[in-house]
């Protein structure tokens, strides 16, 4: 074949390559857009791919994915066909089938290597687009669910705060009722017992201790009690209450079944912890001011 004969062949091949490049450009532009209608996407893809084929007038294309199916082109006896399958989104299958129908002539019609490559690439790109669409849909649904869960959690937190607030109010009310009951019924009875002339000193001391404990339970004891309880040991606090109630060292020793020197040692320790050492401050008077 001389140069004069090869020029038309080269021009025809260049024209086919231009068609393929144009198809790739149009496909890339199409497949980067957001998908709204799957079947419209399939029709546009089929039109672009058909235009890129060597013999588009006898070509037919079917694209199937799930419940979506688009078929374009000619029908009749098939001369040649190319079928490409691609899985996407784990379990979904895209099928792209392209065929050349019998043109009624003796001319050989079939797909060349470049056309098969273009068909395979188109199927792969379509599957990728569909997978991205499914992922976007899943992400939107997930975001919607998370938003709903966040809203529900916020409502639950509000309800929980209301319940906690109600519980706190009920606790305050219960404490108020306990204090009122103790102040109205229990402490008056203790005071009546303390005013009895027949009461022994030991019993009087124990009643005074009982009164102090009841006040602590009810939350009606002087505010200084909490401060002293942090500074003094339980034994020192017990002796402080007895001193505050006017008991002598001898009476305290007898009541607690300890020696008088032990009581004196506790008294000195109490004065030291309360910062009264070396000061002309009466311990009983001081304790009555804070207990």
- Placement of tokens 């019993």 in the chain: 203
- pLDDT at 61 exceeding the cut of 70: yes
Query: What token pair was written down for 104?
Result: 């009624």
Domains (range + CATH), the chain: 3-149 (3.30.450), 196-290 (1.10.10.10)
Please list the residues that pair with 101 across neighbouring strands: 78
Apex 70 CA angle, 42 and 73, nearest 5: 100
Bridge-partner residues for 63, per DSSP?
70, 96
Sign (positive/negative) of CA torsion 15, 21, 26, 30? Answer: positive
Share of the chain above pLDDT 90, in %: 36
Judging by beta carbons within 10 Å of its beta carbon (0-12, 13-18, 19+), is residue 101 exposed, middle or buried? Answer: buried
pLDDT digits 0-9 by tens, 21-36: 787 788 888 877 777 7
- Cα separation, 220 vs 213, whole angstroms: 10
Cβ–Cβ < 8 Å for 41, 94: no
| pLDDT band, residue 80 (cuts 50/70/90) | very high
Which tens digits make up the pLDDT trace of 185-228? 787 777 777 777 777 767 777 777 787 777 777 665 555 666 67
61's enclosing H/E stretch is strand 59-65
Structure tokens at 282: 């009466």
Per-residue DSSP letters for 85-145?
Answer: EEEETTTEEEEEEEEEE--SSSS-----HHHHHHHHHHHHHHHHHHHHHHHHHHHHHHHHH
Q: How far apart are alpha carbons 101 and 112 in whole angstroms?
A: 15
Which residue in the block uniquely carries the two structure tokens 């392209």? 98
Name the β-bridge partners of 84.
96
Q: Is the pLDDT assigned to residue 74 strictly greater than 70?
A: yes
Q: Are 34 and 41 in contact (CB under 8 A)?
A: no
Q: What is the pLDDT of residues 229-258, one digit of tens each?
A: 678 888 888 888 888 878 889 988 888 889
- pLDDT recorded at residue 84: 96
**Residue 142's pLDDT is what?**
92
Cα 262 from Cα 256, distance rounded (Å): 11
Cβ count within 10 A of residue 184: 9
* 202 touches 247 (CB < 8 A): no
Residue 73, number of CB atoms within 10 A of its CB: 19
């Amino acid at each position: 074949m001389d140069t004069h004969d090869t020029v038309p062949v080269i021009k025809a091949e260049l024209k086919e390559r231009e068609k393929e490049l144009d198809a790739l450009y149009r496909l890339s532009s199409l497949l980067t857009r957001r998908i709204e209608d799957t079947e419209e996407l399939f029709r546009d893809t089929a039109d672009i791919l058909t235009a890129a084929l060597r013999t588009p007038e006898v070509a037919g294309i079917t694209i199937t994915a799930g419940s979506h199916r688009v078929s374009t082109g000619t029908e009749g006896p098939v001369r040649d066909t190319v079928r490409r399958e691609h899985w996407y989104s784990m379990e979904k299958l895209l099928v792209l089938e392209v065929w050349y129908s019998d043109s009624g002539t003796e001319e050989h019609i079939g797909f060349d290597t470049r056309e098969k490559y273009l068909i395979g690439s188109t199927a792969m790109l379509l599957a990728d687009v569909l997978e991205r669409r499914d992922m976007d849909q899943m992400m939107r649904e997930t975001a919607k669910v998370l938003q709903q869960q966040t809203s529900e959690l916020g409502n639950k937190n509000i309800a929980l705060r209301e319940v906690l607030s109600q519980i706190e109010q009920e606790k305050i009310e219960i404490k108020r009722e306990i204090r009122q009951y103790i102040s109205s019924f229990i402490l008056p009875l203790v005071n009546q017992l303390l005013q009895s002339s027949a009461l022994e000193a030991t019993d009087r001391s124990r009643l005074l201790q009982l009164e102090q404990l009841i006040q602590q339970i009810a939350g009606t004891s002087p505010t200084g009690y909490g401060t002293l309880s942090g500074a003094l040991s339980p034994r020192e606090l017990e002796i402080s209450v007895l001193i505050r109630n006017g008991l002598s060292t001898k009476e305290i020793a007898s009541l607690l079944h300890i020696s008088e020197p032990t009581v004196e040692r506790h008294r000195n320790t109490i004065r030291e912890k309360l910062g009264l050492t070396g000061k002309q401050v009466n311990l009983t008077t001081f304790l009555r001011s804070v207990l």
